[in-house]
Amino acid sequence: MKIGYARVSTEDQNLDGQVDALQKVGCDEIYKEKASGVSERAVLEEAIRYLRAGDTLVVTKLDRLGRSLKKLIALIEELKDRGIHFESMDDGIDTSTSVGTFFFQVIGAFSELERNLIVERTKKGLEAARRRGKFGGRPKTHNENKKEIAYREVMENKKSIKEIADSLGMSRMTIYRYIEKKNEKPVQNEHR
């Protein structure tokens, strides 16, 4: 069974051209949606749930499924795992053929290469920053003296953590983390 999916991005656009093309190639059912390529597409999800092994999902162009290559590849993999074929008419893609399957494998390989290159560049950038004495993460907003004052006040039980945090302009979590960090450190022997 061929299931068609037609989508336009805005309400004022017309689906007729896509619907006519999908009918011409023999789609038994056609799901129509007016939603942008990056938003949630309930009708597409409904069409995917309707598909069964041996069926084919047909679109007029690849971009009808969305703009993200990563999501497109994930969708095609999901369909493949369920035994469902995919066809994009204008792009000449048909995963029921060897060439169509190869096309998606190539796209998947490029996508994986891109992810790996991003990871590599990120690692190199972090290493270069560390060599220059810069470290990632959130900058410290309170110096050790302020944290030590909070610690002493907590240990002397003069005020609640909330009162101490409010008076010093700190969060309670900062105080809790400092107490935890301080209590983890082994006590040094002063007789050395």
In the residue annotation, 9 being an active-site residue is answered as: yes
pLDDT in tens, the chain (192 residues): 999 999 998 877 899 999 999 999 999 999 999 887 666 788 999 999 999 999 999 999 888 887 677 788 788 888 989 999 999 898 888 888 888 878 767 766 776 777 788 889 988 988 888 888 877 766 666 666 888 888 888 888 777 888 888 888 888 888 888 888 888 755 444 443
pTM of the model: 0.56
Domain regions of the chain by residue span: 2-107, 144-184
Length of the chain: 192
- What confidence score (pLDDT) does residue 93 get? 84
- What confidence score (pLDDT) does residue 119 get? 86
**Largest pairwise CA distance in the chain:** 91
Catalytic residue among 9, 36, 39, 68: 9
Q: Which of 79, 76, 32 is nearest to 55 (CA)?
A: 79
Spell out the long-range contacts of 174-183 with Cβ–Cβ below 8 A and sequence spacing 24 or more.
174/141, 174/142, 174/147, 174/150, 175/147, 175/150, 175/151, 178/147, 178/150, 178/151, 179/151, 179/154, 182/151
- What confidence score (pLDDT) does residue 58 get? 96
Give the architecture (CATH level 2) of 2-107. Answer: 3-Layer(aba) Sandwich (3.40)
- What confidence score (pLDDT) does residue 157 get? 75
- What confidence score (pLDDT) does residue 182 get? 81
For the CA atoms of 57, 63, 66, 72, what is the dihedral angle to 10 degrees? 60
SS3 4: strand
**Distance, CA of 96 to CA of 93 (rounded, Å):** 9
- What confidence score (pLDDT) does residue 127 get? 87
